[in-house]
Structure 1
Amino acid sequence: MEIHVEAPVTATEEPERVVEAIRTVFPDASLTVSDDRVTGEAQTLDTLRELLAQFQILDTARMLLHRRIDDGRLCFRLNKQAAYAGTVNFSEVGHPLGDITVTITGGDLPGLVDWLTETDGEKE
């Protein structure tokens, strides 16, 4: 499984803050900073899973993420400002400052979504 993350850096933003926003959700990500974008690869989704449970948005996340599986990949956007503040907020429309785009390829994507969003009652 490959986990690619990227986010734009606008003229009014400090790249370090964009990096921090991404690392809030993907602390193990190997990131590259350019003038207008931060890109990288993450190794795990453990922190995202923990945040989804912490903020009790498992049902919403499950519905949204299953809808976002297409052509062997799962692609979704997270609000960059919310991530910087330590929360998870999915973006459907897009934010003027840009979002964190996450693209996951490989493996059992429906099973991955179920794992990310399983409730305590579903865990073995």
Structure 2
Amino acid sequence: MSAVYSVDVSITAPVNDTEVTARVADAIRNLFPEADPVHREGELVAEVHTMEGFSEELHRAEILDTARSIFFDSLSGDTFVFDLKKQAAFEGRVNFAVGDPSELGDVHVEVTVREPDAESYVDYVAPPTEDGQPLDPE
């Protein structure tokens, strides 16, 4: 892809007393391999500047349409947000959390697109599909 994207991806996940911090960190890194989570006041936080690994998982799991819907539903200006189930993330799978948060809390992701624009970045991370296949095979 020839476009250059400038994005800030903030990731937070609560760490409960009953959880092993390293396992929650692994859950984050499984979907965002570039992340280096830091423990702060009962949660792990990380910031990355790419969603390449996450996008690959969306493609592999064939849930691009679901992802696009969630991203565009939350889009406000240059930012979109979504939550992920921690257990699925620990297993390396994307499972969007909708409705009430799970008992142990969810992984919260906030994406701010600096360049070129949020809509183009969503198209890059989760391209539109036809018959379940990305229109742009890149």
1:28-74: CA deviation from partner (whole Å, max 9, x where unpaired): 11321135100010131011100001111111111111111114311
Tell me, which stretches of 5 or more residues in structure 2 are unaligned? 1-6, 128-132
Identity %: 34
Large movers: runs of 4+ above 3 Å: none
CA RMSD of aligned residues (A): 1.4
Listed as ranges, the matches of 1:1-124 within 5 Å are 1-93=7-99, 94-107=101-114, 108-118=117-127, 119-123=133-137
Aligned length: 124
Q: Give the TM-score of the pair, scaled to structure 1.
A: 0.92
Q: Give the TM-score of the pair, scaled to structure 2.
A: 0.83
Paired AA for residue 112 in structure 2: T
Q: Residues 27 and 86 of structure 2 are in contact (CA less than 8 Å); yes or no, is this contact kept in structure 1? A: yes
Tell me, which stretches of 5 or more residues in structure 1 are unaligned? none
Q: Residues 113 and 121 of structure 2 are in contact (CA less than 8 Å); yes or no, is this contact kept in structure 1? A: no
